[in-house]
Structure 1
Amino acid sequence: MTSFDAYHLSEPVRRSLEKMGFATPTPIQELAVPVALKGGDLVGQAQTGTGKTVAFGIPVIEHCNASPGQVQAVVITPTRELAIQVSEELNRIGEFKGIRSLAIYGGQDVHRQIHGLKSRPQIVVGTPGRLIDHVLRLKTISLDACRTIVLDEADKLLEMGFLQDTKTILKKMPETCQVMLFSATMPEPILELTRTFMKEPAMLGIKADKVSVPAIAQYYVEAEEKQKFDALVRLLLIQAPELAIVFGRTKKRVTELYEALTKKGYPVRGLHGDLEQAERDSVMKQFKEGSIRLLIATDVAARGLDISGVTHIYNFDVPQDPEGYVHRIGRTGRAGKTGVAVTFVTPAEKRLLKNLEQYAGQRIVPLKAPTDQEAVAGQKQMAKEEILKAIESRDSQRYIDLAEELLKDNDPASVLAAALGMIIKEPDLRTVELTEMPPGKVKSEEKLEVERSKKPRDRSRGHKYPRK
């Protein structure tokens, strides 16, 4: 397939795709869009970042009509962050057709959501618990006119304990409703879900659990626990990531990294499971907009994050399982772009690399921890490249008069050296030691955070429902 034109899409949807910069479909879009446009049920196996939102978004928008009325499509997501992202993407696809989407999720004022529903959006994207609140308890969403339901990241719905809530919603759907399910893996409970609620679904992209991430250059740095932070700082100086996520194993680790990097002068934010929703939203907004270029996160807190433009992933702590490794590094190298993933490994953990390589289907290449001298040289090289870029863009021409004035009475090399001295921030390479937690304690803290995350947290807390 060379173009979306082959799908004979409506003119408004084609305009939206052109505005979004989409010219050719990704593999999952090529498989799913034709089936979904015909109205058939489908199961699509696809990793995050493969374009699955557009894969179901195009047919969902095409099947909706712009006249306000009851909800015509529902998308169930495991996390509030994913609900927001999917809703934003659907609004972009439906822009010229007049189709609107509303995200509803726990942690947000329920009265605000009721107000949003009064504007009669054609699509609702939500987390399971809050959808049940609106459908069954508040009766603010009617599913009678629903034509399509999408289960996005179904394996995460299972993992986070939302399978029963999802079944409850599916039982309320009209019998004629089209069902689409997307999942990175296909555990038995998900397959059972497809057998119970779907009619002869097309099985698309189904493959073994082993995945491949060829667009990501994967490296590991071997370092003692006490040397890992210094190695990270030097790599950040040399690689200068445009947008990066540093993964820590626990919220305690995230806090330590946040405080240590802040002392080094980096504009960073931390993301872990104990943050209030308003603070999480603020952190994600800053990261998406690029006002902060470095995010420190736990696996649990990063679930559902789908952010374009992430160039580097740093695994400060080795993931506990290969699937977690692939999910972490899969947040870079998206939409046809390449990415870089670096994992810090202590000598005792080096044996774990083989399992990660086998699961990811790609060799993880050793990378030597940079020296202080290399870090400083990296800073100088970046400054040189920035100056050459500025010369090529010719933006600096407006300062030509000032340059000529400075060069009239001063040596050119001295003038340039002084300018470079103002540009180059001398890196703080003083050693910082983080707390070295015993392995058993680390494991128990991680387990506790995962257990907390599996409890349905998207219920309305602290809000009294309006009286009927």
Structure 2
Amino acid sequence: MDDGFILNIVEPSAQSVRRTGKAKGGRWTDSPRPVKKARKVGPTHPSEHERLARPTNTSRPVQVVSSLFTYNPEVEVAEAPALSSVIVKPSNAPLTDKSAFSGLGLDPLIVAHLETKMHISNPTSIQREALPPLLSTSSEDTFDRDVFIQSQTGSGKTLSYLLPILQDLLPFGSLSYIDRSIGTLAIVIVPTRELAKQISDVLEVLLTLRLRPQNEGADDASPSARLTRWLVSGLLIGGENRTHEKSRLRKGLPILVSTPGRLLDHLQNTSSFNVGKCRWLVLDEADRLMELGFEESIKGILQALEGRRKLAVQAVEEGKSAEVGGWNWEKRRRTVLCSATMREDVQHLAGTALVKPILVKATELDKPSDVAGSTGDALTKPDVVLATGEKFTPPSQLSQKYIVAPLKLRLVALIALLRLLLAQSQSRQGTKIIVFLSCTDSVDYHWKLLGTSSIDGSSESPEWSSDDEGEGEGDDSPEDKSKKDVAEKISLSSPLLPQTSIYRLHGSLPLKTRLASLKGFASARTKSKDPNSKTNVFSSSILLCTSVASRGLDLPLVRAVVQYDLPTEGGATEYVHRVGRTARVGRGGEAWAFVSPSEQEWVRWIETRIQDKDTSVSETGRRPSLVPASVESVMRGGFGGKGNGYEERATQVQLAFERWVLKQKENGELARRAFQSHMRAYATHPADEKHIFHVRNLHLGHLAKAFALREAPGHLAQQGAGGNSRKLHNTHNTRNNQTHSASSKSKSKSNPIAPVAKPAWRNSHGDTEHDATAERRMQEVVRRQGRLLKQDGVLVARGTAEFQIGGGYDLERLFPQ
């Protein structure tokens, strides 16, 4: 409707002045406000890590990957002290003086076998001290006494008791009525299956000795000229077929090597097991037997042996025995106990199993008057307990080094170190390296990661690895692939570690796989570089393992031991046992330890426990305990390149691992499970080490990079990524394990001596993992040590949960299942 009004609306021009409110300190102006000058942005230089991780498809969300070499804590590497020019004398080498086995009373047949077949001419220090009291038959006072052998690892304790056993049983071959049906005359008890297999192999080599002198003109009337081959060795370990073992026991096994559980099982259930005439009982690695909770099993074995002997003597006295020939039933069984340490539990075992023991050490043989005593009282007197305060030291010729590596660089630093050690090996000589990890899941993960990942999706080695000699093992023909189907389950190869086989070993593997891994790692495999050349190239091997391989195993020619994860249980003793896998019997070796920046105090802590304060470097020429090495020098030596070129190559390796984790869901689950298991193992450090090893000190996001994860698993990251102690803090709740059922809780309340139930470890799918494995059961026993007491002959709980972390942190709260 037109009502006469005209609206004149004019749009403001760009030149119009826009007036605002009062301008303090300013003035009105008719000029427009100047446009804000655009900020000059210089060219961006993204890190190589971020550039390589940027996806090519821009439609997808960009995932920014943190660089390996940013936001790492500063690490100050102390300068290595100057080493003395004096040559370090090996502490466990065979003696170089005129000492020989013949002068110790060994049979000439055994001495000749050691020199010709086993290439052993001189005894070690512990063998020189242990053989005389074990071989002596002239002094009844010495012969009727048991022996406690204490010596450092790698000193030859195995031959110290096998040679006396062989010499004692060898003369029975001159009797016409003696054969293997006589039963078991010697038993060797060891804590692990791998060690049992190793000792059994050494024993089989010893039993192949010549039974007649090499001199054709020897007197036929001599006892050694009429010996028969009747000595047969046997092996009893868990996982083998019990029916086959019973069949062999029925035929007779004069010398037996066994683990405690399987031996007790046959003593209780196999009636044809003839041990009534047993003359020798050896408890090897007694400290490890105690750690794994075999004390009750050993007591049962001792009682069963005594019971079988009494039944055999009673049958002879009553004329019910069908055996032909006489037997000296008055001669008692002799027991030998071997241990590297003399802890309280080992002394208790010695007081139970040994009769008037003689303490034998590598330096001297204690006088009988110093250790004489009645059964059960020996090794508990003040004049003998002095050995418990001695340092348990590694071999003096061992070179010990450590790397302070930030958490993000751990994985690539490990690869660089392995490449460096392999490249430094002598020309055409294979190298053997042992890598210790904290848990079985971590071993499986790293074994599969190294064996199935590749650079840029190819199986060939990267261009910058061409400096390494040798050729990869992935060039097999189709005909050879079928032959290696089984071998691939035992060993894998990596393009990053050319011409190297990677093995794994832990207690959750099947027995056949464990034995095959040990055999493959220890065997010398050769590969000819030129078919027309007579020169052989020795392939290298790497063993990824848990602490199951730290005791007793004598793996030949191990050049280096790498402790990627420091020991969670056992402290300095476990450390020395681990590094003792190299530098054995006078040979050289290297020991490397990975230390995070928050764990640097561990270096001084371990040095005070393995170093001898009474000696100095200037006097003995002994090297310092642990020598530092910078992570930059290790990575530069392992990856090569000029300047900081190693950073780009390390980034390529890290990205290749991360792509492998993201490639398949199974790989990601394996990586996360390994991360979580590592954290659980880290939380089990004892209370006296909590000031060094504590979950609050770990940056979970950085640690995830060490498992090729681009971020920590969700529930862990929410509970303290970056070391937020307030989120990790947990008040003291009731210390009952959360995995107990309601019935078990009520039972524990009503019955204070009810044993603590074992927790069930479950994966993301809810399936119980490794629940029935020997290693898991052994770990549970170890963790309960110190929190149980003995009541009426039964170990019972003392009101503390199994998984209570020192300092008020509950493992079930930190890492929910």
What is the TM-score with the length of structure 2 in the denominator?
Answer: 0.47
What letter corresponds to residue 122 of structure 2 in structure 1? T
Query: Who is 1:351 aligned against?
Result: 601
Candidates 682, 689, 695, aligned match of 1:443: 682
In terms of mean alpha carbon deviation, does 322-331 or 441-450 score higher? 441-450
Candidates 117, 131, 139, aligned match of 2:263: 131
Whether the aligned pair in 1 keeps the contact of 2:105 and 2:132 (CA below 8 Å) is: no
Candidates 612, 622, 637, aligned match of 1:374: 637
Whether the aligned pair in 2 keeps the contact of 1:104 and 1:113 (CA below 8 Å) is: yes
Structure 2 matches for 1:279-294, cutoff 5 A?
A: 279-291=513-525, 293-294=541-542
Q: Does 1:189 pair with 2:189?
A: no
Query: Who is 1:333 aligned against?
Result: 583
Candidates 415, 418, 421, aligned match of 1:236: 418
Q: Does 1:251 pair with 2:440?
A: yes
Structure 1 residue 204: Cα displacement: 1.2
Q: Secondary structure at the residue paired with 2:558? A: coil
How big is each residue's C-alpha offset from its partner over 1:91-146, in whole Å with a ceiling of 9 and x where there is no partner? 22232254321111111111221233344232011111211222221123222111
How big is each residue's C-alpha offset from its partner over 1:403-428, in whole Å with a ceiling of 9 and x where there is no partner? xxxxxxxxxxxxxxxxxxxxxxx999
Matches of 2:584 and 2:629, distance apart in 1? 23
Matches of 2:156 and 2:677, distance apart in 1? 40
Matches of 1:274 and 1:132, distance apart in 2? 22
Matches of 1:440 and 1:371, distance apart in 2? 26
Q: Does 1:48 pair with 2:153?
A: yes
In terms of mean alpha carbon deviation, does 162-171 or 435-444 score higher? 435-444
Q: Secondary structure at the residue paired with 2:297? A: helix
Q: Does 1:79 pair with 2:192?
A: yes
How big is each residue's C-alpha offset from its partner over 1:5-45, in whole Å with a ceiling of 9 and x where there is no partner? 10232122112211211111111111111111123410011
Query: Who is 1:306 aligned against?
Result: 554
Candidates 774, 777, 786, aligned match of 1:452: 777
Rg (Cα) greater in structure: 2
Matches of 1:280 and 1:428, distance apart in 2? 34
Q: Secondary structure at the residue paired with 2:257? A: strand
Candidates 28, 37, 44, aligned match of 2:126: 28
Q: Secondary structure at the residue paired with 1:106? A: coil
Distance 1:303 1:373, change over 3 A: closer
Structure 1 residue 372: Cα displacement: 5.6
Whether the aligned pair in 2 keeps the contact of 1:72 and 1:123 (CA below 8 Å) is: yes
Q: Secondary structure at the residue paired with 1:244? A: strand
Whether the aligned pair in 2 keeps the contact of 1:300 and 1:453 (CA below 8 Å) is: no
Q: Secondary structure at the residue paired with 1:268? A: strand
Query: Who is 2:567 aligned against?
Result: 319
Q: Secondary structure at the residue paired with 1:366? A: strand
In terms of mean alpha carbon deviation, does 242-251 or 301-310 score higher? 301-310
What is the TM-score with the length of structure 1 in the denominator?
Answer: 0.80
Matches of 2:680 and 2:780, distance apart in 1? 22
What letter corresponds to residue 453 of structure 1 in structure 2? M
Matches of 1:455 and 1:119, distance apart in 2? 37
Whether the aligned pair in 1 keeps the contact of 2:126 and 2:155 (CA below 8 Å) is: yes
Whether the aligned pair in 2 keeps the contact of 1:269 and 1:283 (CA below 8 Å) is: yes
Matches of 2:684 and 2:259, distance apart in 1? 26
Structure 1 residue 343: Cα displacement: 0.6
Q: Does 1:113 pair with 2:229?
A: no
How big is each residue's C-alpha offset from its partner over 1:208-227, in whole Å with a ceiling of 9 and x where there is no partner? 35222212100011111121
Structure 1 residue 439: Cα displacement: 7.5
Structure 1 residue 168: Cα displacement: 1.8
Q: Secondary structure at the residue paired with 1:20? A: coil
What are the ranges of 5 or more consecutive residues in structure 2 without an aligned counterpart?
1-97, 137-142, 212-228, 310-330, 362-386, 426-430, 454-493, 526-539, 612-623, 642-648, 659-670, 687-760, 762-769, 782-817
Whether the aligned pair in 1 keeps the contact of 2:417 and 2:634 (CA below 8 Å) is: no
Query: Who is 2:406 aligned against?
Result: 224
Query: Who is 1:63 aligned against?
Result: 168
More helix by share: 1
Whether the aligned pair in 2 keeps the contact of 1:211 and 1:360 (CA below 8 Å) is: yes
Distance 1:53 1:301, change over 3 A: closer
What letter corresponds to residue 629 of structure 2 in structure 1? L
Q: Which runs of 4+ in 1 moved over 6 A?
A: 445-450
The share of aligned pairs that are identical, in percent, is 30
What letter corresponds to residue 196 of structure 2 in structure 1? A
Whether the aligned pair in 2 keeps the contact of 1:250 and 1:446 (CA below 8 Å) is: no
